[in-house]
Amino acid sequence: MRGERDATPAACSDRSEATGTASLGRNLRFWLASPFAAPFDPGDAPLALGALLLRASRTDHAGLFADPSTFEAVLALCYDLTAREASEMREACERVEAVAPDCASFAEILQRAVGLSDRQRFALSLHQVLLSAGPPQDPQREALSKLFLGAHSATNPAPLRAG
């Protein structure tokens, strides 16, 4: 799949960068203005989760993401992106994060809107990248994983066990 993207003619690639990259996250930014008035587009989940990670990294977990390449590594691992694609996605996530609500509210909104499998995949990628950077039993890392898995809120009822 990555080889197919690399085979794109340069003119086509430049045109998509000029129009598409700037609009990334536009629908998500509008949705965030009133998240319960319209359905969430599942295609926006990667940008939404990336924006949440940026918000968390700039507030509660700043020590874990001093270098932007750590954030880009999470995106690249989770979504099979090249370094350039991850950098462009980070820029789009920054635009979304700029209009997002506070971290706890944003996480709660996304917990309801983004499917568990998407959140788990993102949390696993985050865990793998951070694990390669330091000790596994870091309380900040555990808190960040819980944020993405949706275990952050005391208002969320515990899931019922089957059987």
Where do we find the tokens 């979304």? 96
Where do we find the tokens 């690399």? 6
% residues pLDDT > 90 (the chain)? 21
pLDDT tens figures, 23-44: 556 678 788 888 888 888 888 9
Average pLDDT, the chain: 73
* Cα 46 from chain centre: 5
Q: Average pLDDT, stretch 68-91?
A: 92
- What pLDDT, on a 0 to 100 scale, did the predictor assign at position 149? 61
pLDDT tens figures, 11-22: 333 333 333 444
- What pLDDT, on a 0 to 100 scale, did the predictor assign at position 25? 66
Residue-wise over 69-106: b if at least 16 C-beta within 10 A, else e?
ebbbbbbbbbbebeeebbbbbbebbbbbbeebeebeeb
Q: Which two tokens stand for residue 148?
A: 């993405």
Q: Average pLDDT, stretch 121-140?
A: 76
| Residue that wins the pLDDT comparison between 67 and 113 | 113
Q: Average pLDDT, stretch 48-76?
A: 83
Q: What pTM, to 2 d.p., does this model score? A: 0.70
Q: Average pLDDT, stretch 125-129?
A: 85
| Residue that wins the pLDDT comparison between 134 and 30 | 30
- What pLDDT, on a 0 to 100 scale, did the predictor assign at position 142? 65
